[in-house]
Amino acid sequence: MIKPTDTDKEQLDIFLKQVMSHWQNPASIFDSYTTQRQKMMLDRLRLQAQIMLIVGLTVIAFFLWVNVQAAGKISAFKIGLVVELMIGACWFLCQNNFGRRYPQIIFLTLCWSVTCIAQIATALFFNFVEPRIGILILMFLTQATMVPVLWHLHLISQIGTITCYLVLYFFYNSTLKYPFTYYVEQGIYLFWTCIICNFSVYLYEKLRKNEYNTRKELELAQEKSERLLLNILPEMIAEKLKHQHTTIADSFHEVSVLFADLVGFTELSSNIPPQRLVELLNEIFTIFDKLAEHHQIEKIKTIGDAYMAVAGLPIPRSDHAQAIAYMALDMQKAINKFNQERNLSFCIRIGISTDPVVAGVIGLKKFAYDLWGDTVNTASRMESHGLAGCIQVCEASHQCLKEKFVLEKRGLIKIKGKGEMMTYLLKSAIAN
């Protein structure tokens, strides 16, 4: 597979971002659900702290207005100021590493700064405690609405609030200020508020987790389809195919095409089981694929026991002929090594041609990137009219390779449909 240049990599990165944005994914699939939930929790806590600061100012203003006595106003102001400072501290912590590491602590602190600190301060200043159900319900509903994560965290904040009230009530209230039924009624309201909040958070998070898993499955399927598509088509062509619904065809001024065929493979197929035959062919072509990737050459297709590759497209390169020549020589070495390791006698015949081609994708189903032109026909003829174990090249390829490779003149041979052509056998690369 051709390795793109830096410019092509940038274009591919832009393309992949467009693919991901198509799925409208708010977070990377490489983030775990826990990581995404923690990020959302921190963002919501920041917003909640800001809103609570504004609400606190209105509450302070209210108490300053309704308390006639100066002492009462001062006490209410002090309580409100302490609560505001706690909320402000939570908002500040949300901006740094502490908030990113411990958002659960900020969650509980925000809740208890309103429900517990206010109760404790009221007990200290006024020496009594009464259930302010309105404030508690508002706090619990606010957090369930704005920070709907980890229902057990909501439960902890609620139990902490109720425990704080009961402890303070035991120490500061010797007698009931209101009828017993009043406290029972308030307790029922608070109980069902907590149940509804926790159940709502549980259902919300369950839904979000299901959505996350579904989105991740879709993205993994999309990623898999991308990999499959890039295994079939070059990156640039795959990108064009996504955005272009017409025929994709490009002309290339000069490329080098290679055809390779396993000599005697047809005869061998009659002597070994078909499954074993396919396994051997797969092993050989897998080796060729790795060589193509190493030499930055584009594999086009396989036809039976024939292998076709090209250098110089879809990204043009000036050293296309040299690259395809190195590929051919390495294919010969690979076959020899393959035979030695498995005690086999495969022989490969290779043909190379250099000149213009047209490349593209046609049709509606089973897309394949293919080449057309006289260069392709010539490369095929160089292979089919070549010699077993040899690499035969045409005159155009010879002109590109003669400075860096050892070539042996084979002479004029009659090529079907082409007449007589001067051909050469590629032997080796000239040592530097």
**If pLDDT is split at 50, 70 and 90, which confidence band does 97 have?**
confident
Q: What confidence tens digit (pLDDT) does each residue in 307-332 have?
A: 999 999 888 888 999 999 999 999 99
Q: Give the pLDDT of residue 20.
A: 44
Q: Which residue has the higher pLDDT, 227 or 198?
A: 198
- Provide the pLDDT for residue 96: 85
- pLDDT by residue (tens digit) across 52-64? 888 888 877 877 7
Is 176 a residue whose pLDDT tops 60?
A: yes
- One-letter amino acid for residue 349 of the chain: R
**Domain spanning 235-429: CATH superfamily:** Nucleotide cyclase, GGDEF domain (3.30.70.1230)
Element counts in the chain: helices (H) and strands (E): 14, 8
Model confidence band, residue 68 (pLDDT cutoffs 50, 70, 90):
low
Confidence of residue 288 (pLDDT cuts 50, 70, 90): very high
- Tokens in use for 75? 């006490």
Closest to 46 measured CA to CA, from 148, 144, 114, 146: 146
Q: Which of 81-85, 157-161, 205-209, 230-234 has the lowest mean pLDDT?
A: 230-234
Whole-number pLDDT of residue 308: 92
> What whole-number distance in Å separates Cα of residue 380 and Cα of residue 378?
5
Question: Quick one: pLDDT at residue 371?
Answer: 86
Predicted pLDDT of residue 24: 41
How far apart are alpha carbons 59 and 73 in whole angstroms?
A: 12
Give the pLDDT of residue 231.
67
Q: Tell me the pLDDT of the chain averaged across its residues.
A: 82
- Per-residue pLDDT, 174: 61
pLDDT of 155 > 90? The answer is yes
**Per-residue model confidence as pLDDT tens digits over 105-121:** 999 998 898 888 878 88
pLDDT of residue 11: 46
The residue type of 273 is: P
Percent of the chain with pLDDT over 70: 83
Kindly state the average pLDDT of the residues 363-368. Answer: 68
- Tell me which amino acid residue 106 is: I
> What is the rounded distance in angstroms from the CA atom of residue 397 to the CA atom of residue 408?
13
User: Would you state the pLDDT for residue 27?
Assistant: 42
Three-state secondary-structure class, residue 26: coil
Range in 96-110, 121-135, 223-237 the model is least confident about: 223-237
Name the band, by pLDDT with cuts 50, 70 and 90, for residue 5.
very low
Q: What is the pLDDT of residue 268?
A: 74
Buried b (16+ CB within 10 A) or exposed e, 373-387: bebbbbbbbbbebbe
CB of 1 closer than 8 Å to CB of 292:
yes
Q: Quick one: DSSP state of residue 186?
A: H
* pLDDT grade for 210, boundaries at 50, 70 and 90: confident
pLDDT reported for residue 324 = 94
Q: Decide if pLDDT at 7 tops 80.
A: no
pLDDT band at residue 425 under the 50/70/90 scheme = very high
Q: Cα Rg for the chain, rounded, in angstroms?
A: 38
Domain ranges of the chain: 25-221, 235-429
Span of 26-30, 88-92, 202-206, 343-347 with lowest mean pLDDT: 26-30
Encode pLDDT of 31-53 as tens digits. 678 888 888 888 889 898 888 88
Please list, residue by residue across 231-260, b when 16 or more beta carbons sit within 10 angstroms of its beta carbon and e when fewer do.
Answer: ebbbbbbbbbbeeeeeebeeebebbbbbbb
Residue listed under structure tokens 């898993």: 213
Contact 293, 372 (CB under 8 A): no
Confidence bin at 30 (pLDDT 50/70/90): very low
Q: Characterize the bridge pairing of strands 347-361 and 306-311.
A: unpaired
Q: Give, in order, the Cα–Cα distances in Å from 403 to each of 155, 427, 431.
A: 80, 13, 11
Whether the bond between 314 and the residue before it is cis, its omega within 30 degrees of 0, is yes
Q: Are 120 and 163 in contact (CB under 8 A)?
A: no
State the amino acid at position 284 in one-letter form: I
382-423 pLDDT, tens digit per residue, is 998 989 989 999 999 999 998 999 999 998 988 887 788 999
Instruction: For 264, list phi and psi in degrees, rounded to 5.
Output: 80, 5
Q: How far apart are CA 99 and CA 90, in angstroms?
A: 8
Q: Are 394 and 353 in contact (CB under 8 A)?
A: yes
As a whole number, mean pLDDT of residues 182-192 equals: 88
Average pLDDT of the residues in 114-143? 82
Q: For 217-266, write each residue's pLDDT tens digit.
A: 888 877 777 776 666 666 666 666 666 666 676 788 899 999 999 887 77
Which one, of 299, 263, 254, 256, lies nearest residue 385 by Cα?
263
Between 72 and 212, the higher pLDDT residue: 212
The string of pLDDT tens digits covering residues 271-283 is 788 888 888 889 9
CA–CA separation, 274 and 376 (whole Å): 30
Q: How buried is residue 269: exposed, middle or buried, by Cβ count under 10 Å (0-12/13-18/19+)?
A: middle
The CA distance from 374 to 294, in Å, is 27
H or E element in which residue 2 lies: none
The number of angstroms, rounded, from the C-alpha of 424 to the middle of its chain's C-alpha atoms is 49
